Chain A
Amino acid sequence: NAGVTQTPKFQVLKTGQSMTLQCAQDMNHNSMYWYRQDPGMGLRLIYYSASEGTTDKGEVPNGYNVSRLNKREFSLRLESAAPSQTSVYFCASTPFPTGRDSSYNEQFFGPGTRLTVL
């Protein structure tokens, strides 16, 4: 199993350009997430998809859109990139919650996409 994969690994954009970050998981997980990590800010949730067919905003959704293409794939789109979106983006997935005293919400992360917007 590859786990969670992300493409591309690196990307440089000019202000105003658009792009889509791709994420796929092969663990048959129901829930998927997009985070951004900025220096000194930890991991902040952008959007998530609790199950196929649903998406919801997280803490910092402005400037982004998402698509849960199928159970495996969850993409993040920047329609008009801004320098403030320079960050490292992580995709993650979790199996459906199964109980209280278990690692039901342990997240499996991809390797990240380092995005620079000039």
Chain B
Amino acid sequence: DQQVKQNSPSLSVQEGRISILNCDYTNSMFDYFLWYKKYPAEGPTFLISISSIKDKNEDGRFTVFLNKSAKHLSLHIVPSQPGDSAVYFCAASEAGGSYIPTFGRGTSLIVHP
């Protein structure tokens, strides 16, 4: 049973437009959420995170929104660039638990020039 779900396997966006990647979770004990970016033939790299005490965290072109009541988070990339084309993994963990994140299956983002 997936505790972290990324229901869109792929997303295609035009350069300069907004990319919105979604993630849903089922475990109400999750209180820390992360996004990782992965290029082909490389390991994932940390992108941005958010604690459950916040509902928004921004870092340059990347913003993560958290809706705890809906158990939903989203990653917004504005404006999207061709170099953003990658697989994005959503992950969630519980501070009071093992703190090891549970990963979603990933969304492949393609940004067209």
Contacts and interface: CB of A to CB of B under 8 A. Distances in A.
Given A40-B9, A107-B46, A110-B43, A100 B95 contact: yes
The 9 closest A-B pairs by CB, nearest first: A109-B43, A42-B105, A43-B103, A106-B46, A42-B103, A101-B51, A105-B99, A109-B44, A111-B43
Interface of A: 4, 33, 40-45, 48, 50, 58, 90, 92, 97, 100-101, 103-112
B93 interface: yes
Interface of B: 6, 9, 31-32, 34, 36, 41-46, 49, 51, 53, 89, 93, 95, 98-101, 103-106
Contacts of B43: 4, 90, 92, 109-112
Give the dominant DSSP class at B's interface: loop
Contacts, number: 60
B99 A97 contact: yes
Nearest to B104: A42
Contacts of A43: 44, 89, 103
A107 B6 CA distance: 20
Nearest to A105: B99
A106 B49 contact: yes
